[in-house]
Amino acid sequence: MRIAIPITLFLLTLVPHIISADDNVAPNRLPRENLLIYRDAGNYLQPVRTKDDWQKRRSEILAGMQKVMGTLPGDEKRCPLEVKVHEEVDCGKYVRRLISYQSEPGSRVPAYLCIPKGALEEGAVPVSAALCLHGTDNTIGHGTVVGLGRPNRNYAGELAERGWVTLAPNYPQLAKYQPNLEKLGWESGTLKAVWDNIRGLDLLDTLPYVKHEKYAAIGHSLGGHNSVYTAVFEPRIAAVVTSCGLDSYLDYYEGKPEVWQPGRGWTQDRYMAKLADYRNRLDEIPFDFHEMVGAIAPRSVLIIAPLKDSNFRYESVDKVAAAARQIYQLYKQPQQLQVLHPDVEHDFPPEMRAAAYAFLEGSLVDNSVEQ
């Protein structure tokens, strides 16, 4: 695979004496299409040749995300989970529990926990577990992924039928989960959701019937990009499936200014209100999916980008994957990043869900979470 390196870097590598230092000063925003460069301590561009070099670029990507999302908290927001079971339903091969857990002081997250009956038997071997993150639904929210709402969304229930433990937390500011983001100190609903998901993994860590350390994340639409955001910050996620969940911010609805007005699209409070500040300069957004998918490497990622998706452009997804694949190549794991283009609309049809489950099952068998 050919990887384009800026001519300045190429010349600097071969004949550094003909390049002045000022020619190689790093721009404010490093190119999203080329992940094989980083900014050194002196603010000069350097080529990424090693995994340690990549970590410098990766750190800048995380800093860019947090510039818009807010700073990911640490132990200061961790508190006892205080899990409560509100309802239990027998679903044949598994039981479905409506639970809630405390993700931070003053905020309880509603979630569905689906457990295969075999996993609950005495002496059973622990099984794999997945975060199942739902799409935009302001009526039943996370109920969609356990078969209570729209068709083609029951991936939490279907994975449970295949022997997985699944946890489906509700996204903040949707349906019955309405935390006060400002009062709780969050600068974006996106990062609040990431934190709730991280605490969901803490919950899975406490369950004796679950295999710990390596988890999956799967989501459609909102759940698709929520899975990516969470995996960037959370190394316990070893495999990601994102269905209809992303394209470049530059290409979102063709970059039309009206979709970047405050309160619309990505700039809603439940997502990232600060993105409205970039509506006339989208190229300056300090992170994009090229970099975030690259930041998940070498962990497994499957991107499902339908040809007829009216929300996210499949051509843009290919550019995202091409950039991220540079880092998978660096780790010598190019097969861990896959892209599918079904000839459907903004949907998650049965054949794509089957491909997603097979991908997750294959990925968690022997997949390193090395960063």
Q: Tell me the domain boundaries of the chain.
A: 75-363
- Model confidence, pTM: 0.92
pLDDT at 12 (0 to 100): 38
Task: Quote the pLDDT of residue 369.
Answer: 42
For residue 214 the two structure tokens come to 């390596």
**Distance between first and last Cα of the chain:** 22
Tokens of 288: 């994009």
Using one digit for the tens of pLDDT, what is the confidence trace for 176-213?
Answer: 999 999 999 999 999 999 999 999 999 999 999 999 99
Judged against a pLDDT cut of 70, whether residue 38 lies above it is answered with yes
* pLDDT tens digits, 252-297: 999 899 999 999 999 999 999 999 999 999 999 999 999 999 999 9
Q: What is the pLDDT of residue 11?
A: 35
Considering the domain 75-363 in this protein, what is its CATH number? Answer: 3.40.50.1820
What's the pLDDT band for 149 if we cut at 50, 70, 90? confident
- pLDDT above 50: residue 19: no
Percentage of residues in the chain with pLDDT exceeding 90? 90
Look at residue 143 in the predicted model and tell me its pLDDT: 98
Tell me what the mean pLDDT of segment 349-353 comes to.
98
* Whether pLDDT at 251 is above 70: yes
Whether pLDDT at 35 is above 80: yes
Sequence-ordered alpha helix ranges (H) in the chain: 7-14, 51-69, 155-161, 181-184, 189-205, 222-233, 289-296, 314-330, 350-363
